Amino acid sequence: MSTLSLRERIADFHAAYIRCIDQNALEQWPEFFEEQCHYTVTTAENDRAGLAAGLMWANNRNMLHDRVSALRHANIYERQSYRHILGLPFITGTTPEQVEVETPFMVVRIMHDGKTDLFVCGIYRDVFLLNHSDILKLKRRSVICDSNRIDTLLAVPL
C-alpha cells in the first residue's frame, strides 16, 4: 500500500509528465499511459457540444508511440519546446478502482529563434487507475483547450 496520499501521487504524476514533454523526452511520454488508454486533444467548444473528434485522438498506447515517431521521423516543423505550468488538481470523483481529476494548465511555446508565446491553456480531464503502485498511470486524458484557435500547428503533444 502506498505511503503517499492520493494528492501527492497526482502531483508527482503531473510533475513527471510535464517534465518529460518539456525536456523533449517524448519517447518516454507514452509510458505515462496504460496500454489500453484514451488520449485526446480537443477544445472546450467541441467538448460542450459533444463533438468527438480531436486534434489528436488515440485509443491505445501504440498510437501515442506513433505520434512520437511521426514527429521524430516524418513531420516537418520548426524546432520548438514547451513550458507547461499546471494549476492545482481538483478531484472530481473517486472509486476504489479509479480517480477522476481536473487540472488546469498553460503551455508557453518557445520557438528556436527565441520567440516565446502563450500557446495553449485549458484543463486536463484525467482518469487514473488506482493499483498498488505509487506510480499512477493514465487510463484517459482529455486535453481540453479553452480556445479553438491553434497558432500555426500543434506538433508536440500537450
Among 52, 88, 118, 135, binds other proteins (CB under 8 A): 52
86 - beta bridge partners? 105
Of 9, 42, 109, 141, which one interacts with other proteins (CB under 8 A)?
Answer: 42
Residues 95-134 vs other proteins: string with x where CB under 8 A?
----------------------------------------
Residue 124 CB-density burial (10 A; 0-12 exposed, 13-18 middle, 19+ buried)? buried
**Measured from the CB atom, is 8 or 78 closer to other proteins?**
78
The footprint of other proteins on residues 62-101 (CB under 8 A) is 62-63, 65-67, 69-70, 73-78
Q: Which phi-psi region, left, alpha or beta, contains residue 58 (left: φ > 0; alpha: ψ -120 to 50)?
A: beta
**C-alpha span between 33 and 59 (Å, rounded):** 11
Alpha-carbon torsion angle 144, 149, 155, 158, nearest 10: -20
> CB-wise, 112 or 132, nearer to other proteins?
112
Binding residues (CB under 8 A) for other proteins: these are 41-43, 45-46, 51-60, 62-63, 65-67, 69-70, 73-78, 148-155
